[in-house]
Amino acid sequence: MKDVVVAGGTGRTGRAIVQYLTYQPNVRVVAVISRKYAGLHMSSVINDLAYDIPIYKSCQEALGHVRPAVLVDFTEPGIAKEHFQLSVEQNINPILGTTGFTEDEIEHFKRLCVRYCCGAALIPNFSLGAFLMLQAVRFGAAFFQDAAVIDMYPPHKTEVPSGTSKQILFELKNYGTFSAKNLTSHSLRLAGVTAYQEVRFGGIGETVVISHDVSDRSCFGVGVALAIQKINHFNQLVTDLADLLC
């Protein structure tokens, strides 16, 4: 049984993650971190939970009450960085779903993992669909010279392009031979959408479309639950969900 704290467990994604994790047999969510709901319990935020969970205003306060093996974070980059540092210092494996970090910040996370000999995950998309999409993208990159990466999210998502698009663009550059003008990125922000990612390859007389559409954020819980089980087998920063699934 792994005890887990979820930072941002009251947010749009965090709620779905917490709910999904409470139904997993090998995971126990022992605390949630949120400033707005601090002092309450998760049953006052979401209905369908396997058990109730206390909410604390900060990571420091939560760690004064519970001793988790893993800290899951779906917040924003500023506070997530602090959560990462605090976790590795206390030999707690951080699993970050939060996106929007700079290259320098990611390098800093890598160094912290080495310094504290602690496994951590920083995965921009924890869904199985996005994992499959990445495998297909790597394969397709070797055969086409034109590609467009498209993301579509609700208007509140300010990060452009999305963290998933950045990862796809990285993979396309790594596995393909695209010139700057033949590899483009397009972001739409539109009410009614949850999360949509697409890669469109263009060839001679044909196009190929690989897409992933999220209808329920609990799909992210699937990858998070797998990461929770595996992360203590690592002592570095894992950025590819494939390393946790395969």
Peptide bond into 161 cis (omega under 30): yes
Contacts for 204 with CB less than 8 Å, ≥ 6 apart: none
Q: Is 14 in the site for ligand NAP (CB under 6 A)?
A: yes
Q: How far is the CB of 139 from ligand NAP (least distance, A)?
A: 22
Q: Whole-number minimum distance, CB 200 to ligand NAP, in Å?
A: 22
Q: How far apart are CA 77 and CA 20, in angstroms?
A: 23
d(CA 71, CA 31): 10
Q: CA torsion sign, 136 to 139 to 140 to 145?
A: positive
| Binding status of residue 22 toward ligand NAP by CB under 6 A | no
Nearer to ligand NAP, 33 or 118 (CB): 33
Smallest gap from Cβ 173 to ligand NAP, in A, equals 21
Beta strands in 34-139 (DSSP E): 55-56, 70-73, 93-96, 120-122
Q: Which of 163, 167, 199, 231 binds ligand NAP (CB under 6 A)?
A: 163
Among 12, 65, 111, 115, binds ligand NAP (CB under 6 A): 12
What is the distance between the alpha carbons of residues 192 and 183, in angstroms, rounded to a whole number? Answer: 28
144 vs 151, which CB is nearer to ligand NAP? 151
Per-residue x/- marks for ligand NAP, 60-79, CB under 6 A?
Answer: --------------xxx--x
Instruction: List contacts with ligand NAP (CB under 6 A).
Output: 7-8, 10-14, 33-37, 74-76, 79, 97-100, 123-126, 163, 220
